[in-house]
Amino acid sequence: MKITGSKPAFAALERDRLLRGIPSKRRYALEILRLKDAQNYSHWEKRGVPRKELVRIARLIGISADGLDKGILEYSNGSGRRQVAVDKPLPDSVQEGPDIRSWYPLLGSVPGGNPSEAIECARRDPFTELIPTSLHCSPNAFYLRVVGKSMEPDIPDDSLVLVDPELSFQHGDVVVARNGDNEANIKTLLRDGGSWYLAPKNPDYPTKPLGDCIIVGVVREAIRRFR
């Protein structure tokens, strides 16, 4: 494949995409770079960014066209704007966290209080938000957003929970359960004698028998977002 554009510029765009926390190249191409056809971004990966596009793209992401052509990005460090070459690591004041092992889609919301319809299937299109995790779950695992206060303080309203539908549940697991009306809840699964119950963490909410509810999956982790 003949290189007809700037390869350093594409490397800079990829760094910009990761800094923005956008796992989808298609989403980045359409929403940030405002390309009419996301396939063009794939072509740039092989051929480089066309130099006729450098000025427009540099303006969109807030750097100079000359810097973009050389593979240099600007970023804000809190006291001004500085430049960093793409092949150099970004300076940071925190320690490196665990390696990201997987990305799972955010499918919708699951009530943490009174039951309401939950989204358990989603279109895995390029615009679906993907959440990174250091955990390794089944390929069909997914994130849901908690709505309600029944699991507070452990899992507050608006938290994200990673659900693995292929993990066998056991006493004490936090699970997502669905009833016959396709309504779902996130609760702690408890066994007393030969019966199963769905228990909240918040004492203002009642514990209920599992009954005919179906266990959708086991919650592997919860992420609390502040903004």
pLDDT tens digits along 45-95:
888 899 889 989 888 887 788 888 888 876 544 444 444 545 444 444 444
Tell me the per-residue pLDDT of 151-192, one tens digit each, with 9 for 90 and over: 998 999 989 999 998 899 999 999 999 887 777 789 999 999
Specify the long-range contacts of residues 12-19, CB closer than 8 Å, at least 24 apart: 12/63, 12/67, 12/68, 12/71, 12/72, 12/73, 12/86, 13/44, 13/49, 13/57, 13/61, 13/68, 14/86, 15/73, 15/86, 16/61, 16/73, 19/73, 19/75, 19/90
Compute the average pLDDT of residues 132-142.
Answer: 83
pTM: 0.55
pLDDT score for 188? 96
pLDDT score for 110? 65
pLDDT score for 40? 87
pLDDT score for 85? 47
pLDDT score for 26? 86
Tell me the per-residue pLDDT of 95-114, one tens digit each, with 9 for 90 and over: 445 556 677 888 777 665 55
Q: Which domains does the chain have, with CATH numbers?
A: 7-85 (1.10.260), 103-223 (2.10.109.10)
